[in-house]
């Protein structure tokens, strides 16, 4: 089977030629001075993109590795944790926390809503024993956002360390690790940066390191260890294991490109693409999955599949008949998603997703006003003034 | 700092253009049917290269991940393990085993020797409580081999499961997982295959799965879990986490190339390159690190650094003055290594390493007969009949 | 300025990743045996795609070089030539023919029509002195076709040698050099094959060689010489000048891909894309440039620019605002063109061109029914059964 | 047949990864604003590298095209031309000049010598009717240089326009079009710049344009026309034909890299590589082809093939047995050449060429002191202080 014409998934997403060329650049030994330069430069760029001066850890494995490593590093049996659940990834974090022995508190909302920061504040007021809060900023499977700009300072004010899943936020949705007083942030390169899916991009605050270093259950001498990276790499220049040279080259290129474009412009592109897409969905007569547009994440538009159809069927038809790869909901519900990530958060890509979705639904017998939807989306795109130079 | 002209390290090593092009090929969504095809095809090729019909697991992280995952999966507190130590990686496995609660038995030899299979047999005869044997086939840091062709059947005859580190063997040194009756084998693509360093290529026998499935300490719902791959991916077609699409493309290309060339020819190339290199080392007046040529691994030639010099100094001078990246001994001793891996196990590459090493040593004041060494190496290369078409 | 998101021009067009990777593959010396193999293999594939067993010449320069070389080779002062003119390239050939001293006969029609083969037959009947006929199969600037399947046999029956510009036909529009009895055919790789714009792909029949060899005015010892290629390269294995190694690699990959897909499928893809596009144009309320759909070329859809607007303005707006590169008419009239070439003769690409064009025209004040046009195009695409695997 | 391990030919030579990646970058329409930017930027860089403020013409075809185009543009029947002949390319220019109707004067020396500028001055003094002088700066087939720094001002002082073949000089050998008062200079990207072989990089002085514009025989409306480029592209922004987009991208990258490194450093690298190579040749007991080291070109070392052997045999054996592509003499004599061009004018590449040549000669039965030669070359390399960062 040949590759799709368009990858408009929820990530891994399309990469720019510059990133692909970097992925295909010569492989060097990991202690080659040119590679060490590249690795350190990438750490610096990741910090800039996360807007933090905290220590940066680049783990070699997609963000699930970083999330597990961070949770294991911060939790020991008995740790009191407040886990916010508004989707699949928040829910999964809770399972891990219990596995690792945490005393689990959860604030859960339906998967098309967001957690109210006011509720978080009340809960922490009532539960001073809590020392760790875990939250997903952008719940990619359902296309919703939690308000970390408010949640971070609340946690900090309560002396609670935060572990933030911002996997699909980095480079496409406003995020400010230092400004929002967040402690451990885990991002992925394969989403809004348009990089390859093989690394966890992380920042760790001094508050978090203090917890980790005191934690006897924190992984040590392990692929899952944050401490190894700190003690071997940052302290002594020794990699705890061989980093994936080609992934580092690819991530470096994706970061350079985002910084050259300007992070603000990247974010504006994602916002514009998502706005056009939502307008198209609505005018096509379809339903956005999130309860309200206030809580939609700009990296992906989640759309309820019309009654009588199944998401897998929709996704597969769009891929096989129209060469467009969309995403399903990964268990969040009967929805499909059009990604707006990296190079596809731009120009007419949202409309391509809408064409594939609209015509697929029509082929499958659903009522859908394709032309109206496309006109609405194009009108939004026409009105945007985002430069993509 | 610009890239080196020649990467003759002990891996990651140079990749062919075909592998690099695959690494830079378009990134697709991991559930895209074209990617799923590529993933399954890669599993098949890895099995062919390991010469096994056992189940194949492709973990997304360099081989240290696979080794840790395998050891954690097989060991629970109290497991009786015989660990063979003839170098840095064997030694490190022992530390892990103790961490994971094993009752550790070790047969250790100096790091320029190999473990005697006769000793292994005697030890297992005397210790019927042992259920697991761990061994490094090719001890890359010191360039030596343990005789797994003999050790495997001994273990199997004693009902002992084997965990074999063949990270730097695959594709360059004879290896036969089924023929040698080995249970869990962990290889790396960034060595003799000339692939990217971002995956663990593993086979797991039914005997090993039986142990793992009964082991309550085996990782589950974790980046370190073998069981997740079996239960989610192999049983249900669900990836336990997003595989690194670009690494998979790169590994697929490296495997295809090896199979197209023919595994026997790959192995002959590595043998020829190593033989030429060893001849050059000896005629240059230098000392091979391994105690005897019988136990040298053909993927890398380890050379004792002459008295008065330090390995880092040698490696750095060769890189900065001659653009050739060699490797140090990673703690195995005061040695440097010339890799013969993938595309550099070929033609005049061994001689390039010898030129860089010889002239570096001369620059640093050592006595070395550069011309004699090169003539000796070239004479061996001239006499070889290995096709590299 | 960054690259466009979509190149839907009339060629050079987008290339596949496979072609791009080949263009970026290592450069070898032109007498390297691996390159010589590649060159000969490419000649063979070009013959297959042109459907001819005639001698193949691969000149190093875009098709204008091949056209000039062929015309200079066939014409001497006084040669009686019938030139068919239905567009810019036919007209240009006439200027050259006069420059080279031919006695020029022309059958000319407006640039939105095609030459009637019946007229050609009558003209040749009446002018037995004519020895050469020149014709453009696909007049790319105006998106029309001349009927070479009928013209070729007419010429052959009159003992007239044919020089056929099939630059934009090869790989996307039915063409059969031998079946249609054509003598000298010049194609371009940068059109329907989706290759790079740097070579002329030519076939020369024995009848044509006979004329050329007798012609004292035919270029010899020149970059424009066909004879040099025959006498030096084909006869003695000596390149008359250094071929462009990277272009050859790129063209080889594009040919391989077309043959692997199957030429019939390539042609069906182009037909389907063009049909969808034309339906969209009409339902958008716009006017196709060609007088009738019978004579439209499937490689490019030419659309009349609505009164009051200029083609350059339309093209530039689509590029700058929507990231879509369309083409103007290169002097054929006030028209814009949406290319369907190579990888863009597929899936939803025609609709992307329609979106860019439609919304651009709306932005510039024209009346256009965007939604209707897109629905019409999508309905055609939905109904097609062309596989692009 | 697979690619060679090392291309140490006399050009096309190996390209850097950066150049290869540019060759493989997306193909754009030639009127895309991003391409037009790239084209103009490349013109500027070529002027900088040629050290001239004259008008730059980038023709789409390897330098033989530019040389023919320039000669045809400057010559009409009866033009009095002094052609300097010290090798194959000088000789070939004379054949062209006669073909184009020139009154040909020649100063010819054996193909291992250079033309004495004093002789040139005397000849021009005696022949005031001469209006054009043609000279090859670096005679690549025989590895010798003519002294254009002296010849240029002599010609200018006599009112004689110069046509200079600096195909293999640019980027590796000192060259100064303005400082040396040269009129038409034609360089190739596939030599010391390490670019692709598909373009002619030319500068044309006002004196030369005056001659060309007055010349009725100068090509017009032709692939061979310089005037078309001036009148259509430079005056009106219209390409006379479609430039080869991928070649332009490749040449742009090669130029950027040379300018980023610094032209002086590039030249020093070539000088160092050639010096090491010559030392190796001499100490191996072989004979340099040029009569004296004073006139050797640093882009290529030409070596006399020992009596009893033939150059083709040597070249083919080195390629097939050792994977190293050397060049023969292209008719200049029984010689082989080791190129020092672009990325191979660096580090240990000259020694790789020496190993392949030395061992090949030994295999074929010649007496050669391989070890001595390599030690001598390495000693020179060790003593060099050229940075290649």
- Digit-coded pLDDT (tens) for A245-262: 999 999 999 999 999 999
Whether B2 has its CB under 8 Å from any CB of chain A: the answer is: yes
Distance of CA A356 to the CA centre of its chain: 24
Q: What's the gap in Å between the CA of C24 and the closest CA on chain B?
A: 9
Three-state SS at D253: helix
Residue B387: its pLDDT value, please?
54
Going by pLDDT thresholds of 50, 70 and 90, the confidence category of residue B386 is: low
Residue D389: its pLDDT value, please?
46
Q: What's the gap in Å between the CA of A195 and the closest CA on chain C?
A: 17
Please give the C-alpha separations between residue D300 and each of B169, C274, D284, in angstroms, as whole numbers.
40, 53, 17
Q: Answer yes or no: do C7 and D23 touch at CB < 8 A.
A: no
Q: Answer yes or no: do B21 and C21 touch at CB < 8 A.
A: yes
Give tens-digit pLDDT for D39-81. Answer: 999 999 999 999 999 999 999 999 999 999 999 999 999 999 9
Q: What percent of chain A shows pLDDT beyond 70?
A: 99
> Do residues C199 and C249 lie in contact, with contact meaning Cβ atoms separated by under 8 Å?
no
Report chain C (389 residues): mean pLDDT per 10 consecutive residues. Answer: 95 96 97 98 98 98 97 98 98 98 98 98 98 98 98 98 98 98 98 97 98 98 98 98 97 98 98 98 98 97 98 97 95 96 97 98 98 98 71
Nearest CA in chain B to C17: B25
Q: Which of A321, A322, A375 sits opposite C370 (nearest CB)?
A: A375
Q: What's the gap in Å between the CA of D10 and the closest CA on chain B?
A: 19
Which residues, at least 6 apart from B188, have a Cβ–Cβ distance to it below 8 Å?
B11, B62, B63, B167, B168, B170, B197, B199, B200, B201
Give tens-digit pLDDT for B100-133. Answer: 999 999 999 999 999 999 999 999 999 999 999 9
Task: Please name the chains neighbouring A, where neighbouring means 3+ C-beta pairs under 8 angstroms.
Answer: B, C, D
Whether A239 has its CB under 8 Å from any CB of chain B: the answer is: no
Residue C1: its pLDDT value, please?
82
**How many residue contacts between B and D have a Cβ separation below 8 Å?**
85
**How many residue contacts between A and D have a Cβ separation below 8 Å?**
9
How many residues belong to chain A?
389
The span from the CA of B49 to the CA of C205, in Å, is 50
Whether B256 has its CB under 8 Å from any CB of chain D: the answer is: no
The mean pLDDT value of chain B amounts to 97
Whether C5 has its CB under 8 Å from any CB of chain A: the answer is: yes
Among D1, D6, D21, D27, the residue to mutate for chain C (most C Cβ within 10 A)? D27
Residue B1: its pLDDT value, please?
82
Please give the C-alpha separations between residue A184 and each of A187, B195, B319, in angstroms, as whole numbers.
10, 33, 38
Q: Answer yes or no: do C27 and D12 touch at CB < 8 A.
A: yes
Give tens-digit pLDDT for B300-348. Answer: 999 999 999 999 999 999 999 999 999 998 999 999 999 999 999 999 9
| Among C345, C351, C349, C357, residue whose Cα is nearest residue C374 | C351
User: Nearest 5°: CA angle at B92, between B89 and B97?
Assistant: 125
Q: What's the gap in Å between the CA of B68 and the closest CA on chain A?
A: 7
ipTM > 0.90 (yes/no): yes
List the 287-306 stretch of C: residues with Cβ below 8 A of A: none
Q: Which of C22, C27, C61 sits opposite D196 (nearest CB)?
A: C27
Give tens-digit pLDDT for A281-290. Answer: 999 999 999 9
Give tens-digit pLDDT for B173-186. Answer: 999 999 999 999 99
Q: What spatial distance separates the first Cα and last Cα of chain B, rounded to whole Å? A: 34
Among C88, C242, C343, the residue to mutate for chain D (most D Cβ within 10 A)? C242
Residue B384: its pLDDT value, please?
85
Q: Which two tokens stand for residue B179?
A: 């023929």
Q: Which of D17, D25, D26 sits opposite A26 (nearest CB)?
A: D17
Going by pLDDT thresholds of 50, 70 and 90, the confidence category of residue A389 is: very low
Helix-strand-coil percent breakdown of chain A, rounded to 5? 45, 15, 40
| Among B360, B372, B352, residue whose Cα is nearest residue B305 | B360
The pTM assigned to this predicted structure is: 0.97
The 10 Å CB-count burial string (b at 16+, else e) for B6-29 is bbbbbbbbbbbbbbbbbbbbbbbb
Whether B88 has its CB under 8 Å from any CB of chain D: the answer is: no
Q: Answer yes or no: do A381 and C359 touch at CB < 8 A.
A: yes
Q: What's the gap in Å between the CA of A21 and the closest CA on chain C?
A: 10
Among B4, B340, B351, the residue to mutate for chain D (most D Cβ within 10 A)? B351
Q: Answer yes or no: do D378 and B388 touch at CB < 8 A.
A: no
Measured between beta carbons, which residues in chain B are less than 8 angstroms from residue A167?
Answer: none
Helix (H) or strand (E) holding A337: strand A335-339
Measured between beta carbons, which residues in chain D are less than 8 angstroms from residue A17?
Answer: 25-26
Q: Answer yes or no: do D222 and C68 touch at CB < 8 A.
A: yes
Q: What's the gap in Å between the CA of B354 and the closest CA on chain C?
A: 26
Distance of CA A367 to the CA centre of its chain: 32
Measured between beta carbons, which residues in chain A are less than 8 angstroms from residue D26?
Answer: 17
Measured between beta carbons, which residues in chain B are less than 8 angstroms from residue C25?
Answer: 17, 21
Q: Facing residues of A216 across strands? A: none
Among B73, B88, B141, B197, the residue to mutate for chain A (most A Cβ within 10 A)? B197
Q: Answer yes or no: do C14 and D26 touch at CB < 8 A.
A: yes
Whether D217 has its CB under 8 Å from any CB of chain C: the answer is: no
3-state secondary structure chain C: CCCCCEECCCCCCCCCHHHHHHHCCCCCCCCCHHHHHHHHHHHHHHHHHHCCCCEEEEECCCHHHHHHHHHHHHCCCCCEEEEEECCHHHHHHHHHHHHCCCEEEEEECCCCCCCCHHHHHHHHHHCCCCCEEEEECEECCCCEECCHHHHHHHHHHCCCEEEEECCCCCCCCCCCCCCCCCCEEEECCCCCCCCCCCCEEEEECHHHHHHHHHCCCCCCCCCCCHHHHHHHHHHHCCCCCCCCHHHHHHHHHHHHHHHHHCHHHHHHHHHHHHHHHHHHHHHCCCEECCCCHHHECCCEEEEECCCCCCHHHHHHHHHHHHCEECEECCCCCCEEEEECCHHHCCCCHHHHHHHHHHHHHHHCCCCCCHHHHHHHHHHHHHHCCCCCC
Whether D242 has its CB under 8 Å from any CB of chain C: the answer is: yes
| Among D354, D14, D45, residue whose Cα is nearest residue D194 | D14
Q: Answer yes or no: do D5 and B381 touch at CB < 8 A.
A: no
Q: Answer yes or no: do B29 and A21 touch at CB < 8 A.
A: no
Give tens-digit pLDDT for B248-290. Answer: 999 999 999 999 999 999 999 999 999 999 999 999 999 999 9
Residue C386: its pLDDT value, please?
58
The span from the CA of B311 to the CA of A285, in Å, is 70
Give tens-digit pLDDT for A183-214. Answer: 999 999 999 999 999 999 999 999 999 999 99
Nearest CA in chain D to A27: D17
The distance between the two most distant Cα atoms of chain D, rounded to a whole number of Å, is 63
| Among D79, D55, D88, residue whose Cα is nearest residue D184 | D55
Distance of CA B133 to the CA centre of its chain: 18
Going by pLDDT thresholds of 50, 70 and 90, the confidence category of residue B230 is: very high
Q: Answer yes or no: do C32 and D23 touch at CB < 8 A.
A: no
Paired sense of beta strands C55-59 and C6-7, if any = unpaired
Residue C312: its pLDDT value, please?
96
Nearest CA in chain C to A389: C2
Nearest CA in chain D to A22: D21
Whether C198 has its CB under 8 Å from any CB of chain D: the answer is: yes
Residue by residue, DSSP assigns D213-235 as: HH-TTS--SSTT-HHHIIIIIIH
Measured between beta carbons, which residues in chain C are less than 8 angstroms from residue B26?
Answer: 17
The span from the CA of D89 to the CA of D104, in Å, is 16
Q: Which of A61, A245, A327 sits opposite B197 (nearest CB)?
A: A245
Residues A123-127 have a mean pLDDT of 98
How many residues belong to chain C?
389
Measured between beta carbons, which residues in chain B are less than 8 angstroms from residue C250?
Answer: none
Three-state SS at D151: helix
Q: Answer yes or no: do C21 and B25 touch at CB < 8 A.
A: yes
Q: Answer yes or no: do C27 and D37 touch at CB < 8 A.
A: no
The span from the CA of A357 to the CA of A319, in Å, is 10
Among A19, A352, A357, the residue to mutate for chain C (most C Cβ within 10 A)? A352
> Do residues A188 and A174 lie in contact, with contact meaning Cβ atoms separated by under 8 Å?
no
Q: What's the gap in Å between the CA of D189 and the closest CA on chain B?
A: 21
Measured between beta carbons, which residues in chain D are less than 8 angstroms from residue B321?
Answer: 382
Whether A24 has its CB under 8 Å from any CB of chain D: the answer is: yes
Residue A384: its pLDDT value, please?
85
Measured between beta carbons, which residues in chain A are less than 8 angstroms from residue B96?
Answer: 221
pLDDT < 50: residue spans in chain D:
388-389
Whether A247 has its CB under 8 Å from any CB of chain B: the answer is: yes
């Amino acid at each position: 089977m040949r590759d799709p014409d368009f990858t408009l998934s929820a990530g891994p997403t399309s990469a720019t030629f510059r990133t692909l060329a970097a992925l295909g650049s010569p492989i060097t030994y990991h202690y080659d001075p040119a590679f060490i330069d590249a690795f350190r430069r990438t750490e610096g760029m990741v910090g800039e993109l996360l807007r933090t001066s905290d220590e940066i850890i680049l783990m070699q494995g997609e963000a699930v590795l970083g999330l597990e490593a961070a949770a294991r590093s911060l939790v020991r049996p008995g740790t009191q944790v407040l886990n916010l659940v508004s989707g699949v990834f928040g829910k999964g974090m809770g399972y891990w926390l219990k596995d690792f022995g945490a005393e689990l508190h959860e604030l859960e909302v339906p998967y098309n809503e967001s957690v109210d920061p006011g509720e978080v504040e009340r809960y922490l007021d009532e539960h001073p024993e809590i020392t760790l809060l875990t939250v997903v900023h952008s719940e990619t499977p359902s296309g919703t956002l939690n308000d970390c700009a408010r949640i971070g300072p609340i946690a900090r004010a309560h002396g609670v360390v935060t572990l933030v899943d911002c996997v699909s936020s980095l480079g496409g949705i406003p995020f400010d690790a230092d400004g929002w007083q967040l402690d451990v942030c885990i991002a992925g390169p394969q989403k809004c940066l348009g990089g390859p899916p093989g690394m966890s991009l992380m920042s760790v605050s001094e508050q978090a390191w203090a917890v980790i270093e005191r934690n006897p259950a924190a992984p040590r001498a392990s692929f899952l260890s944050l401490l190894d990276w700190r003690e071997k790499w940052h302290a002594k220049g020794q990699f705890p294991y061989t980093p994936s040279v080609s992934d580092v080259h690819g991530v470096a290129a994706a970061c350079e490109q985002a910084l050259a474009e300007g992070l603000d412009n990247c974010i504006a592109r994602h916002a514009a693409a998502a706005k056009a897409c939502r307008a198209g969905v609505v005018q096509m007569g379809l339903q956005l999955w999130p309860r309200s547009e206030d809580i939609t994440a700009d990296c992906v538009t989640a759309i309820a599949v019309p009654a009588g159809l199944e998401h897998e069927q929709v996704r597969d038809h769009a891929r096989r008949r129209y060469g467009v790869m969309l995403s399903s909901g990964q268990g969040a519900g009967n929805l499909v998603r059009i990604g707006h990530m990296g190079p596809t958060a731009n120009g007419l890509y949202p409309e391509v997703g809408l064409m594939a979705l609209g015509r697929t639904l029509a082929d499958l017998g659903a009522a859908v006003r394709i032309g109206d939807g496309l006109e609405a989306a194009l009108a939004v795109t026409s009105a945007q003034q985002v430069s993509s130079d």
